[in-house]
Structure 1
Amino acid sequence: MAALTHKLPYSLHETSIKVKFYAAFAGLLILILMLVALSVYSVREQSAYHRQLDVSSQAATNVEKVNGLIFAVVMESRGIYMSSDMATVKRYGDALLRRNRELAEVMDQWQQIVRDDDTELFAAFKTRVSEFIRFRAELVRRANVISQAAGREWGDNDANRKVRIALNEDLAALATVYFKRAHANAKLGEQVEFTTILLMILGIGAIALTWLTASLFKASVIEPLLAITSATDSIASGKILASIPHATRKDEIGKLALAVQQLQSTTERNRELQKSELATSRERDHLEENKVHLIAAINNMAQGLIMLDVHANVILMNESYRKMYNLPKEIMASSCNLRDILRYRAESGLFSGDTKTYVKTILTRIALGQPSVSHVDLKDGRRIRVFEQPTPDGGWVATHEDFTKQQQLQQTLERMERLLGTIVENVHEAILAKDALSHRYLLVNRAAETLFGLPRAAIVGRTARDVFGEETAEAIEGASKAPPVKAAAVAIRTITTPGNGERVAAIRHLPASGGEGAAQYLISLIEDRTDQAAAMPRRRTG
């Protein structure tokens, strides 16, 4: 791009940037307008092409439908001719009338897509089809009302065959029209394809023109601006004697370069003063910004925070602490002591005990510098955890955290664990839960101890093959170690237990997810059916 900058003619540097921009914009606008116009034309051509293609397809389909229905009507007529009883005649007659109705529906649908090139042919063809339908309906009437012979006499003759031949000729003529229409559609499709190619060419041209315009602007405007900006950065960094490029140009870039040169001379005179003022301003802004950030961070803490000096005067207190103990808002803007805080808390019912004793205890902790953790139960049912920590300057900082909900949740979880443990221990099925990766048992209930004749200490932490051996382990867990994606069906197996010999067991497996989708645990439910299996033969014998 630097080479392109050097190759730009001198007259281009003399031209105003505004003129350059307008010229480039005009060129792009013209090309875009051409693209839009051609796109609109292409859309219209494609719409016309698809409409004509759809009409041609429907017309061709209608030719096939009508031809097939005429043939079906003729076949039903022949069924009437060859029938030996009136029931058969009626059955073929009903089928013929049904085909007549289908034929009339197809002709009605066909008429909706008729165009100028097939209007006359279609009108004559529809009239002939209508006569054909009426003729065949009369055939059915005569065969049903008079006799089968009367129906045959009406339909099986040369006049009827001539009508069929005329219908076939009409269909052939219409097919010829539709063939010509399809040929015209093909030419229209070629025109659409040509338009699409032309759009692609114009699009490529637009991309090329955009790239060329961007390159010229980069070479004549952006890169000079970057060079001047680099020079101003050098001046700002203290390199006052830095060379200012493009000062000889006569356009806006040259004027900007001259302005920078003037700034360069002024900067030399005021550099020391600016450095001093800048350093002071930056330090002040930095301190103010840090103060704002610190206050915002403290006030957005979920925990309440209070900081005291060695005399228990409040240095800092955040909004969470104020709300936690229902302190008035004006206390945030005033200087106060820990005694004042406790007095407000006592008035709102959120402090119980002796204020003097509490303050004395805090002052002792401050003097000793001993951190502590304590819990405070408030009268409104909340429980507060207090973390106290000495500060390097001899003061004291404490964070107050409301962990009432966490404690309630923990108690609820403990109750649920005890409930689930009671249920697991008292079900009659043996329950074994293992890790899906290591295949080691993590949980065994009382029924499993009874079934296998082993204490759970001999099972937990070991795999099935460690406890039962290869054959029994495979019967309990199946040949595959992969956990199933859903609950398995019940399988009846004979297993050899370490303490109870052979038992007949109903085994099924349940996958259990750890909350991340894939099964992390496999639970085996085993029901001892040995007594049931032993009783079944006796029932059959009795």
Structure 2
Amino acid sequence: MSIRLRLMALIAAFGVMALLITGLALVSLDRYKTMMSEYGAAYKHAYDIERINRMVSSIVMESRGIYLSKDTAEASVFAGHLTRNLDQLEQALNDWRLSKDAEEREDYKLIEAAARDLIASRRTVVKLANEGDIAKATAVGTGDRDNRITLQQRLDSLVVQAHKELAQTQAEAVAFSQQRSQTFLIMALVSIAAILGLSAWAILHFITRPLRHVAGTIISLSEGHLDTPVPEAEGKDEVDALWRAIGRLKAHAIEAEKIVAAQREAERLQALEARQLILD
């Protein structure tokens, strides 16, 4: 394999590493988004329960206004306010009943009967107040006191439970965020170390050390040391090609040296023959 392909393979490995980190980041973001969505749903559920509880308290206050009214006109004012509160409560309960969250629908079932009874009794209170029968309206309203207390106790219990779930969801999100932050930090440090280590190894093993060896051999041959060993390279990378080229150059140099030596020997022999002829 050529040096170019080896370096490209190294770069591809770094690319795969980057893709793995990116994939983990996307998965983490998706999971964190889901957890934030769960946190938002838990927060909304807690808020809705508290809002319904406040509605019940407002209904109680408006009902007491009717009980303490001096005449029908005054009672009708409180009855109007009470009607609006009952309408809002009924709408909130319907929204809760139709929630897409199965756990929220189960929570609704715990207060449904008491809530519906409260609405029914307080609408009767409104009707009686508008008719001027304040005493009977008071009797109906106060007669439903135990049911209203039961309803608010259940709502208070659901609020406590919702806040626990909210705190748990928040804690899980924080723990997940911290854990993934540590994971990304470790992966980043490991990736940087791997990139630096592999790059240094590749440069040293495939480029610096072989080229230094090649350069040393070329210098030695150029200085006339034709006995300098040249490795027999059978690979297909650039350094092996250089070694084969250097091997051919060495062979040519040796051949040229032999030719020069033969010429010198021939010239020496010719000189000896010429000298012999002169002496003879």
Alignment TM-score, normalising by the size of structure 2: 0.69
CA distance in 1, matches of 2:36, 2:94: 22
2:70 aligned counterpart, secondary structure = coil
Unmatched 5+ stretches in structure 1: 1-14, 232-240, 266-542
Q: Is the 8 A contact 2:59 2:86 kept in 1?
A: yes
Count of aligned pairs: 242
1:199 alignment partner in structure 2: 184
Residue 202 (structure 2) pairs with residue 217 (structure 1): yes
Aligned counterpart in structure 2 of residue 169 of structure 1, from 149, 153, 159: 153
Superposed CA deviations along residues 231-266 of structure 1, whole A, max 9, x for unmatched, are: 9xxxxxxxxx69xxxx7594524234347658999x
Residue 113 of structure 2 aligns with an amino acid whose one-letter code is: T
Residue in 2 aligned with 1:50?
36
Aligned to 1:505: none
Structure with the higher helix share, 1 or 2: 2
Q: Does 1:145 align with 2:131?
A: yes
Equivalent-residue separation in structure 2 for 1:47 and 1:126 (angstroms): 32
Aligned to 2:172: 188
Q: Does structure 2 retain, via aligned residues, the 8 Å contact 1:42–1:195? A: yes
Q: Does 2:108 correspond to 1:122?
A: yes
Q: CA contact under 8 A between 2:71 and 2:132: conserved in structure 1? A: no
Matched-pair contact (CA < 8 Å) for 2:99–2:105: no
| C-alpha distance 105-193 of structure 1, shift in aligned 2 (>3 A) | farther
Runs of 4+ in 1 over 6 A off after TM superposition: 224-228, 262-265
Consecutive unaligned residues of structure 2, counting only runs of 5 or more, are 217-221, 224-229, 251-280
The answer on whether the counterparts of 1:59 and 1:113 sit within 8 Å (CA) in structure 2 is: no
Distance (Å, rounded) in 2 between the aligned partners of 1:114 and 1:162: 31
Question: Which residue in 2 is equivalent to 1:97?
Answer: 83
Q: Residues 290-335 of structure 1: CA distance to partner in whole angstroms, max 9, x if unpaired?
A: xxxxxxxxxxxxxxxxxxxxxxxxxxxxxxxxxxxxxxxxxxxxxx
In structure 2, which of residues 63, 73, 94 is the aligned counterpart of residue 87 of structure 1?
73
The residue identity in structure 2 corresponding to 1:129 is: A
Superposed CA RMSD? 4.1
Amino acid aligned to 1:100: L
C-alpha distance in 1 between matches for 2:232 and 2:83: 94
Distance 1:263 1:253, change over 3 A: same
Q: Which has the higher strand share?
A: 1
State the 1:136 CA deviation: 1.3
Q: Cα–Cα, structure 1 residues 53 and 175, in superposed 2: closer, same or farther, change >3 Å?
A: same
Check 1:109–1:253 CA distance in 2 against 1; reply closer, same or farther (3 A cut).
Answer: same
Shift of the 141–62 alpha-carbon distance from structure 1 to 2, 3 Å rule, reads same
The structure whose RCO (Cα within 8 Å, separation 6+) is larger is 2
Give the alignment of 1:448-527 within 5 angstroms.
none
Q: Distance in 1 between matches of 2:248 and 2:88?
A: 93
Residue 143 of structure 1, CA deviation: 0.6
Inter-partner Cα distance in structure 1 for 2:212 and 2:86? 87
Letter in 1 for 2:195: T
* Identity in percent: 19
Shift of the 175–220 alpha-carbon distance from structure 1 to 2, 3 Å rule, reads: same
Deviation at 1:47, TM superposition (A): 2.5
1:156-200 CA distance string (max 9 Å, x none): 33xx11011111221133124324423542453223431332133
